[in-house]
Amino acid sequence: MGRYILRRLISAIPVLLGITVIVFAIMALIPGDPATAILGSYATPENVAKLNRDLGLDAPAWQRYFIWLGNMLTGDFGTSFSLNRPVLDEVLERFNGTLILAGTSFVLCSIFGVMAGVLSAANQYGWADRAITFAVLLGISIPSFFLGMMMILVFAVNLRWFPVSGMWPIYGDRDIWALIDHLTLPAIALAVVATGVIARLARSAMLEVLRQDFIRTARAKGVHERGVIWRHALRAAMVSIIPVLGIQAGFVLSGAVYIEIVFQWPGVGRMLVDAILTRDLLLVQGGVVFVAACYVLFNIVVDVAQSLLDPRIKT
């Protein structure tokens, strides 16, 4: 097992390098140069050229890539000109917020999605199946930002059950209860779509498995129907559900961008959108690379979980 994890980690290196290349290439496509963006369109050409030289932007692209890569490896992601602080500091601080939000949502959608899918499949065409199918359809059809806005309107403005926005109260203790209070609405809004997708997939994976011969074997040896569903069928269905959980984690991270904006949540997504609008490219680059790298590592965890579940995967 240790060898397997090591192997997966080593094989992630080219992927991580690929990510930096892609990000760098996209950013190199940008017309105009950052110096103009920094200094404004009224800057003199001399000043722009000087800043370009200072930033090392006059070197060929491949040199700039390696300089950028080398700096990142030493923890230097550059400095954000719009915030005037090191990119890494800002990203780390913001990523913390995103992690809380997206992590909670991911746990919610995994648990409820799988449960809903199993219940749906176990009662195929029954009322529970119909109700779940309908809820899932609504869930995957509603834009999460619209859902978030409606939740604010109903639960925060009208019912006043939860705060409207933010991560912490402006006055008062920053304790876990305050966090839960602020987290509930955005986490649910973010989880809904992924729950729907996972539930659908879990349902069809369960239906697929329930028709297999080994389920008939379990029944023929007298296993209770409950055991057939939860012990035999779900375990086998998890083999195809787990990779989807990995993909959905990416979707939850992505959806977090919208939810962070709607709920004014201090996360990395909101930071990225602001950085794009102010053309703070180092911040965009750094943020994208950092989050993508975290996601790659998370997918290794998913692969390891998969190999623990399925002995047929060579470790």
Judged by CB under 8 A, the residue of 1, 2, 29, 74 near another protein is: 29
CB 265 within 8 A of CB 97: yes
- Under the criterion CB under 8 A, does residue 206 sit at the interface with another protein? yes
CB 26 within 8 A of CB 281: no
The stretch near another protein (CB under 8 A) out of 19-27, 53-61, 77-85, 167-175 is 19-27
CB 78 within 8 A of CB 87: yes
Nearer to another protein among residue 131 and residue 239 (C-beta) = 239
- Under the criterion CB under 8 A, does residue 239 sit at the interface with another protein? yes
In the complex, minimum distance from the CB of residue 62 to another protein, in angstroms, rounded to a whole number = 18
User: Binding-site residue total for another protein (CB under 8 A)?
Assistant: 87
From the list 6, 11, 37, the residue with the least C-alpha distance to 284 is: 37
- Under the criterion CB under 8 A, does residue 85 sit at the interface with another protein? no
- Measured CA to CA, the distance from residue 121 to residue 128 in angstroms comes to 9
In Å, what is the CA distance from 152 to each residue of 140, 159, 171, 191?
19, 9, 20, 15
- Under the criterion CB under 8 A, does residue 299 sit at the interface with another protein? yes
Nearer to another protein among residue 39 and residue 215 (C-beta) = 215
- Under the criterion CB under 8 A, does residue 308 sit at the interface with another protein? no
CB 234 within 8 A of CB 206: yes
In the complex, minimum distance from the CB of residue 128 to another protein, in angstroms, rounded to a whole number = 13
Binders in 106-165 for another protein, by CB under 8 A: 121-122, 124, 137-138, 140-143, 145-146, 149-150, 152-153, 157
Q: What is the DSSP string of 263-285?
A: TT--SHHHHHHHHHHTT-HHHHH
- Under the criterion CB under 8 A, does residue 257 sit at the interface with another protein? yes
From the list 193, 206, 81, the residue with the least C-alpha distance to 146 is: 193
- Under the criterion CB under 8 A, does residue 83 sit at the interface with another protein? no
- Under the criterion CB under 8 A, does residue 89 sit at the interface with another protein? no
Residue 262: exposure state from Cβ atoms within 10 A (0-12, 13-18, ≥19): buried
- Under the criterion CB under 8 A, does residue 61 sit at the interface with another protein? no
- Under the criterion CB under 8 A, does residue 225 sit at the interface with another protein? yes
Binders in 273-292 for another protein, by CB under 8 A: 273, 275-277, 279, 281, 284, 288, 291-292
CB 121 within 8 A of CB 206: yes
